[in-house]
Amino acid sequence: MNAATLDKMRQMKLLGMHQVVTTGLNAEKSGLYTADELIAQLVEAEWDDRRNRNTEQRIKNARFRYKADINDLYYDVDRNLDRNQVMELADCRFIDKGGCVLITGCTGIGKSYIASALGYHACSQGYRVMYHSAARLFAMLKMRKADGSYFREMNRIERQQLLILDDFGLQPLDAQSRTALMEIIEDRSGKGALIITSQLPVSQWDDVIGEQIIADAILDRILHQAHRLDLKGTSLRQNLKLEEALVS
């Protein structure tokens, strides 16, 4: 292919095709392909490139706290993390159904990492994902109320196919945060999936939410057919520090 053709590929943003031609498909190799095989090779390269770039953009938009890989999760009987349950969640059917995943356990046990790993995997499967620390989300929504962009931000949250609320329950909700949470849960009911992590057992969430009637309404929607990951054991971070101290 001449320089003009390659330049047109670049201008048309056929970056996958451009790369395979310039780096891997020289004149000698191209002679080994039939016309249809050559076209298939170029289309496959473009397909892969666009999928990878779209995945990278979804990950960037999600703003994860951790870079996490579902294949790196640590399974142990004492930790109470079941591989089969995680793999079932990894098929993303709970997202299609607008389901909920609740991950609880002590600090440092790996809740945020598991949630992020599921979020990263969902991005790779083409889903729109948003990650938020619960406390920062509610603080941000208060600022959005003040500057008049609250409803635009809530609409943006609603458009996500998966919302991750990390570290829920670190502090009790005030009236404004409680109302925002209720709106988020209502907007997602049956059409948007949710992952919530918390140091507190679910039985104590009504105290965090406050105002019993609203708490009951929120929990009823969250707990209905929710997937539960109740992690056990001690902090993985503390165990790692102890191992490092023993080695040194």
Contact 231, 105 (CB under 8 A): yes
pLDDT tens readout for residues 133-184: 999 999 999 999 999 999 999 999 999 999 999 999 999 999 999 999 999 9
User: Closest by alpha carbon to 105, among 12, 177, 9, 202?
Assistant: 202
**Domains present along the chain, CATH in parentheses:** 3-61 (no CATH), 63-242 (3.40.50.300)
d(CA 132, CA 119): 11
The pLDDT of residue 31 is 59
Tens place of pLDDT per residue across the chain (248 aa) = 577 777 777 777 777 777 777 776 555 555 566 667 777 777 777 777 778 888 899 999 999 988 999 999 988 878 899 999 999 999 999 999 999 999 999 998 999 999 999 999 999 999 999 999 999 999 999 999 999 999 999 999 999 999 999 999 999 999 999 999 999 999 998 889 999 999 999 999 999 999 999 999 999 999 988 999 999 987 765 554 444 434 34
Alpha carbon separation from 248 to 214, 234, 237, 241 (Å, rounded): 52, 22, 17, 11
User: Closest by alpha carbon to 29, among 1, 49, 10?
Assistant: 1
The pLDDT of residue 241 is 46
∠ CA 129-50-20, nearest 5°, is 150
The pLDDT of residue 16 is 75
93-124 residues labelled b (16+ CB within 10 A) or e (exposed): ebbeeebbbbbbbeebbbbbbbbbbbbbbbbb
The pLDDT of residue 1 is 54
Instruction: Count Cβ atoms within 10 A of the Cβ of residue 45 and give its class: 0-12 exposed, 13-18 middle, 19 or more buried.
Output: buried
The pLDDT of residue 218 is 93
- Distance in Å from the first CA to the final CA of the chain: 59
Instruction: Count Cβ atoms within 10 A of the Cβ of residue 226 and give its class: 0-12 exposed, 13-18 middle, 19 or more buried.
Output: middle
CB under 8 Å to 233, separation ≥6 — which residues? 76, 78, 79, 80, 105, 106, 109
The pLDDT of residue 245 is 39
Instruction: Count Cβ atoms within 10 A of the Cβ of residue 125 and give its class: 0-12 exposed, 13-18 middle, 19 or more buried.
Output: middle
Contact 205, 104 (CB under 8 A): no
User: At 93, which amino acid appears?
Assistant: R
